Structure 1
């Protein structure tokens, strides 16, 4: 099972209203087809009600667990919302300084 699929399954434990996991590995240095190292997560969940941003991130880190260990997920961009904050889109990720140049 891919890292992306494993991450999606683990984040399901947060009972998301909306969940999007994007593999952004291709935009980073050292990329090769099939590499999974950089992900962006946009998640909306009632689990985050009353939590500060850092606490929301901690819940996501806990759910991801060992997927964030060396040799697995190198970077995880997190956009965590409660339903009243969600506008339908998450911010775009910045370009990587080490991204392959075209």
Structure 2
């Protein structure tokens, strides 16, 4: 079951991009006891997102767009975030 931070990320990304594919994967268990593990069980995530908004954008621009959509979550409430953002292929 998704925790509150994961659910919030899914809602923010869905609202911002209307993605054709969205996976917010909680990787926190793999990092238990490591640096950045705050004990919340929601410290490390992978985001796989595909949306038309990413067409003609560089990898860096896509990552910045995702980070902006997530507001204070990256760096404040989530220690590590891996982003795989792409545009749908025709």
Within the alignment, does 1:76 sit opposite 2:81 as a pair? yes
Shift in alpha-carbon separation, 1:69–1:81, aligned structure 2, 3 A: same
Q: Runs of 5+ in structure 2 lacking a partner?
A: none
CA-atom RMSD in angstroms: 2.0
- CA radius of gyration, larger in: 1
Q: Runs of 5+ in structure 1 lacking a partner?
A: 86-102
Count of aligned pairs between the two proteins = 84
Taking structure 2 as the reference length, the TM-score comes to 0.84
Cα deviation for residue 33 of structure 1 reads 7.2
Distance (Å, rounded) in 2 between the aligned partners of 1:21 and 1:78: 10
